Amino acid sequence: MNTIPIKDLPYERYDVKNFQDACEKFIEAERNATSVEEILQAREELLTVERHFETMASLAYTRYTLNTYDEFYIGEQEYYDEVMPIAGMCQTKVAECLLESRFKEELRERLPETIFPMLELAKKCHSTETVEDEQEENAIVTEYSQLMSQLTTDWRGEKKTISFIRGFFESSDRTERKEAADAIGRALSSVSDKLDDIYDRLVKVRTRIAKKLGYKDFVELGYARMGRIDYDRDMVAKFRENVKKDLVPVVAKFKEQIRKELGVDKFAFYDDNVIPGGNPVPKVDAQGILDAAKEMYADMHPEASKLMNQMLSVGAIDPLPRDGKWGGGYATTFPDFHQTFILGNFTGTSDDIDLVTHEFGHTFAMNFAFDHDPEAGIGSSETAETHSMSMEFFAWKYMDKFFDDPDGYKYKHLAGCLSFIPYGVIVDEFQHRMYENPDLTPAERKKIYLELEKQYRPYMTFDGIEYLEEGTRWQYQMHIYETPFYYIDYCLAQVVALEFLSEAQKDYDDTYGRYVEHCKRGGLYAFNHLVKLAGLKSPFEDGALREIAATTVKLLDELKK
C-alpha cells in the first residue's frame, strides 16, 4: 500500500491522445497476433494506460468535489467532461476488436466470465455521432453538482448547506424537524427554475444520445451504461411489483405503529427518520468515530485493520461538511497508487456511523480488486453496494464503541434499511417514467413523483412542507441527475445485505467469512451468480422479499423488547 498523503498524490492532466494511441496500438497488435498470449500481453499494456487515465481523472474529480470553488479543479473537471466521451469511443473500438477476434473463444476461457458480456454492452454505449452530446451531458451534470454543492439557505441566522440541515431530520423535536424540512424546501425553491431546466436538458440530451445509438429510449441505454449483464428492465419491473405486494404493506403497518407511538395525527416526511423515544446519538465526536472504527476493524479482520490504518495515516477519509463540498458520500480509488478514498458529510447523528461503515465496505472490496482484472474490478454497482450495505450490518457487533444504547441504534438502522427499499423503488420508477416520456413538463414530473409516493409510501405526507409538498423531494437526490438508474441497485443490494444479516444472527463468523469471500470475488462473476456463490437468494426470486420482510420484522420486535 502507498503511504503518500492523499493531498500530496501527484496529479497532472491526462492527455486523452495518449489513450487514443494506446487503443490504436492494441487494435493493431490484435490484428497481427499469432496467439492468444500476444493479445493478452497487448491487453495488459492497454490496461496499464487505462489505470493511469482512471487515476488522474479520479484525483481531479475528488479534489473538485472537496472544493467546488477551486478554479483549477473546476477546469480539470470540465476537461474530463469533454474527453471522457472520446475515451468511451476508443473503448468501443477496442470492444468491437475483441468481440471479432479470431481468438475470441480462447480469450473467453482466459478472462473472467463478466468481460465479454461487458464488452457487448460497451459496444452499444458510444459512437462518433454521440461524442458532442455526451460532452454536453457531462457538462450539465457538473453544472448540477456545482449548484447543489454551493447551495445554502438561512438557518437560524447563518447560511448553511442542505447536507448540514438534513442532520436535523434526526431531532427528537418535531418542530425542529419541520423547520429543517422547510429550510431545505426554501433552498430548493430559490433555484427551482434552474433545477427544472437542468433536468429537462439532461432528459433531452440523454434521449437524443439513445436515439442516435438506435435505442427506443434512454432506459435501454441507461441499463447498458450500468453494466447490467444478468437482469433487465422487465426483471426490475417485477421486483418493483414484488416490493409493492410483499414489502409496502409491512412497512406501512410498521410506520403506522410508529405514528401512534409518536402521538401524531399524520406521519409527515420529516417523521420518517425518527423512532419513538428519540434517536440514538453517537457518544463520540467526529474524531472519536474514526478512532472507534479503527478499533472495530482491528478486531473484525486483519485485511480490514490494515486498510483502515493505512487510510487514516494518509488522510483518506474526509468526513466533515463545509461550504462548497459535494453534498453526498462516496468511495473511490486511485489505482496507480493502490489507494482508496472516502468523502462524507457528518451530521452529528447515527448516519455518521452508517457512512463510515458503508463507504469502508466499498473500499474493503476495492482493495481486494486491485489484484483483479481491472475490467472486472469490484463489479457493477448493485454488486458494489452489497459490499457496503452488508458491512453496515457486520459492524453491529461493535456498536457499543459508538453508542451508549447500541440496541437502539440497531433498531433505528434496521428500520431505516427496511423502509428504504420502497423509497428506492420510487426513485427508480420515477426515472423510468421520465425517460419513457421525455417531453413531460416540470409540473407533470412533480405530479408523477407525488403519485409514486402515494403508491410506495402511502403512510407519508408532504402536506404543509414548503416547496416539497409540490412533489420536489427528488430534486436533491443527486443520483437522479448524475447517475440515472443507479438507485435500484441500492434496493437489490439492501435485500442481499438483509439476508447476510439474517444469516449472521445464526452464525456470525461463518457468515462473515462468506462475506469476505464475496468481496474478494468482486466483479469476476455476474450479480446473481455472486449472490448464489455466497449461499443467498437472488432478490429477483419470487418470495425473496416476503421472506426477508418477515425475518426483519421479527428481529425488529426482538430489538424493541
pLDDT, tens digit (0-9, with 9 covering 90-100), for 156-180: 999 999 989 999 999 999 999 999 9
DSSP label at residue 461: B
The pTM (predicted TM-score) of the whole model is 0.95
Q: How far apart are CA 558 and CA 203, in angstroms?
A: 46
- Mutual orientation of helices 351-369 and 302-313 as an angle, nearest 10°? 110
CA–CA distances in Å: residue 31 to residues 26, 91, 101: 9, 16, 8
Q: How far apart are CA 469 and CA 460, in angstroms?
A: 11
Q: How far apart are CA 165 and CA 181, in angstroms?
A: 8
Q: How far apart are CA 500 and CA 522, in angstroms?
A: 16
Q: How far apart are CA 39 and CA 111, in angstroms?
A: 12
Select from 284, 346, 338, 343 the least CA-distant residue to 307: 338
Find the mean pLDDT for residues 302-319: 96
Q: Characterise 181 by phi-psi region: left (phi > 0), alpha (psi -120 to 50), beta (else).
A: alpha
In 173-327, where does DSSP find H-type helix? 174-190, 192-212, 218-225, 233-242, 248-262, 286-300, 302-313
Q: Is 170 helix (H, G, I), strand (E, B) or coil?
A: helix
Find the mean pLDDT for residues 68-74: 96
Q: How far apart are CA 390 and CA 464, in angstroms?
A: 36
Q: How far apart are CA 23 and CA 18, in angstroms?
A: 9
Find the mean pLDDT for residues 195-207: 98
162-166, 237-241, 277-281, range with greatest mean pLDDT? 237-241
Select from 399, 316, 307 the least CA-distant residue to 352: 399
pLDDT in tens, 540-558: 998 999 999 999 999 999 9
Query: Is 90 exceeded by the pLDDT of residue 372?
Result: no
Q: Map grid coordinates 494518509 to a residue.
A: 314
Q: How confident is the model at residue 405 (pLDDT cuts 50, 70, 90)?
A: very high
User: With contact defined as beta carbons under 8 Å apart, do 530 and 379 qualify?
Assistant: yes
CB count in 10 Å sphere of residue 288: 13
Taking only Cα atoms into account, the Rg of the chain, rounded to an integer number of angstroms, comes to 23
pLDDT in tens, 82-105: 999 999 999 999 999 999 999 999
Select from 429, 474, 446, 497 the least CA-distant residue to 241: 429
Please give the grid coordinates belonging to residue 5.
498523503
Q: Give the burial string for 60-83 (b: 16+ CB within 10 Å, else e).
A: bbbbbbbbbeeeebbebbebbbbb
Q: How confident is the model at residue 1 (pLDDT cuts 50, 70, 90)?
A: low
In a 13 Å sphere around the CA of 252, the CA atoms on its Cβ side amount to 16
User: With contact defined as beta carbons under 8 Å apart, do 515 and 394 qualify?
Assistant: yes
User: With contact defined as beta carbons under 8 Å apart, do 33 and 98 qualify?
Assistant: no
Kindly state the percentage of the chain with pLDDT values over 90.
Answer: 97
CA–CA distances in Å: residue 148 to residues 78, 100, 154, 168: 17, 44, 15, 19
